[in-house]
Structure 1
Amino acid sequence: MPSQYGQFCPVAKAMELLDERWTLLVVRELMLGSRHFNALRRGLPRMSPALLSKRLHTLVRAGVVERWEDGNRVTYRLTESGRELEPIVDALGRWGIRWIPELGDADLDPHLLLWDIHRNVDTEAVPDGRTVIVFSFPERATARRWWLVIAADGVDVCDVDPGFPVRVTVQADLRTLTRVWRGDLAWSEALGSGAVLLRGEPQACRALPRWLRLSSVALTPRPGGSPQPVAAR
């Protein structure tokens, strides 16, 4: 059961719905364009299918999410009420990256990182035709290699070799690449120090930071006036 605070305060009433675990992350996924159950699961890989179904049902019942059926295809999208949460979720992300920067080992997830990266590819900057980027995390015992396949019909993430020629291989430990994605570490610094290695076509290696746009909160100013990574041009 959702928490019942017993207060007329609008903040308390809102939190009776929103402070259940995973709820705002489901809203985040819908904000980022996920429309179907399997896509939502890929953006929330550690959330059980049963709990995701339960949270979606609660949000639909509350009028935050709409559920549409087209034959066997079910689509979810934010309602006007849900869309009004977008600046709130965005502000939480910016607050979190400013004031809670620490990353534990349990926070690092190659599946989620590659899923986030694939949503931010600048497809207009990538050459025509198919471009395949391999991400290699040598320190990991499992899930060490991932493939990003960029084509005219979209971008996909694979955890098995799709069998296409590779244009660029990105080698780094998972923490380093996560920090680059979050904007904690600039591409130039990561590449200059050797923490990230690029192998493949020279022109593609030079262009890669422009292809992979950073997290939407990456350029958020940090406390203390520390310099922020400059977006690749």
Structure 2
Amino acid sequence: MGASYYQFCPVAKAMELLDERWTMLVLRELIAGSRRFNDLRRGLPRMSPALLSKRLHQLTAAGLITTGGGLYTLTDAGRELGPILEAIGIWGVRWIGELGDADLDPKLLLWDMHRRVDHDAVPAGRSVVHFEFTDVPGPLRYWWLVIAAREADVCDEDPGFDVTVTVHGTLRRLVEIWRGDVTWQHALRDGALRVLGPEPVRRALPGWFALASYATAPRPA
């Protein structure tokens, strides 16, 4: 637990646990479906392993998660935070809209996209989405998302499979699409994004991914 606020208010008591750095993001990853330590690390790449271990221990001691067999599982108390985190995300996208360049991370974007694949919308067999981010230097410019057998894997090296469709454009624009700031159609019209491949696949691609609830939240005028 964090330092006490010495108030009986339940908000104060809850925040003694939840307002320590990274705690809410660890919970975000658990609620999004991460169960193993390495998966949590992939969703929180700038968090040190030692600090992640400490936060997981704190959440376990507080009764929000249980551990066993190398897995971290939310308890009822942990799952009850799901709607709260969703509401915070909606509030953030409505009122904290500005993104700095340091906020843009292709690894985080692809990690989030891979777990929100709508497998019922993807054709049977293997589909490979190749991403080329024109505003990202060096090897982080190229990524592959391999979708098969109701699973999806993120690759930062060519997996050697035939590419089904290529998404070419800026990382910033694709992040804006993922956050719901703009639509795929808008990004394609303004030229910030190009989708290369057979026409039926190009048309279907946006439907392969289910946007988060905050992406559909109305923005203030």
TM-score (norm 2): 0.97
More off after superposition, 78-87 vs 156-165: 78-87
Give the equivalent residue in structure 2 for 1:223.
Answer: 220
Q: Which residue number corresponds to residue 204 of structure 1?
A: 201
- Tell me the equivalent position of 1:63: 63
Amino acid across the alignment from 1:5: Y
Residue 137 (str. 1) matches residue 133 (str. 2): yes
Pairing of 1:17-166 with structure 2 (within 5 A)? 17-69=17-69, 74-142=70-138, 143-166=140-163
Q: Does 1:3 align with 2:3?
A: yes
1:182 matched to which residue of 2?
Answer: 179
Q: Percent identity?
A: 62
Q: Distance in 2 between matches of 1:216 and 1:42?
A: 22
The count of corresponding residues between Structure 1 and Structure 2 is 220
For residue 191 of structure 1, the aligned residue among 162, 168, 188 is 188
Whichever residue aligns with residue 91 of structure 1, its letter is A
- Which of 164, 170, 173 aligns to 1:173? It is 170
Residues 118-170 of structure 1, C-alpha deviations (whole Å, 9 max, x = no match): 11111111111000000111221130000000001510100000000001000
Larger fraction in helix:
2
Mapped to 1, the partners of 2:46 and 2:108 lie a distance apart of 9
CA distance in 2, matches of 1:202, 1:221: 31
Q: Distance in 1 between matches of 2:104 and 2:64?
A: 30
Give the 3 Å change call, closer, same or farther, for CA 153–188 of structure 1 in structure 2: closer
Alignment partners' CA distance in 1, 2:49 and 2:214: 28
Could you tell me whether the CA contact under 8 Å between 2:119 and 2:150 is conserved in 1? no
Shift of 1:216: 2.5
Taking structure 1 as the reference length, the TM-score comes to 0.92
Using the TM superposition, give the Cα deviation of residue 212 of structure 1 relative to its aligned residue in structure 2, in angstroms.
Answer: 2.0
What are the ranges of 5 or more consecutive residues in structure 1 without an aligned counterpart? Answer: 225-233
Give the gaps of 5 or more residues in structure 2. Answer: none
Alpha-carbon distance, 1:9 to partner:
1.1
Provide the aligned C-alpha RMSD in A.
1.0
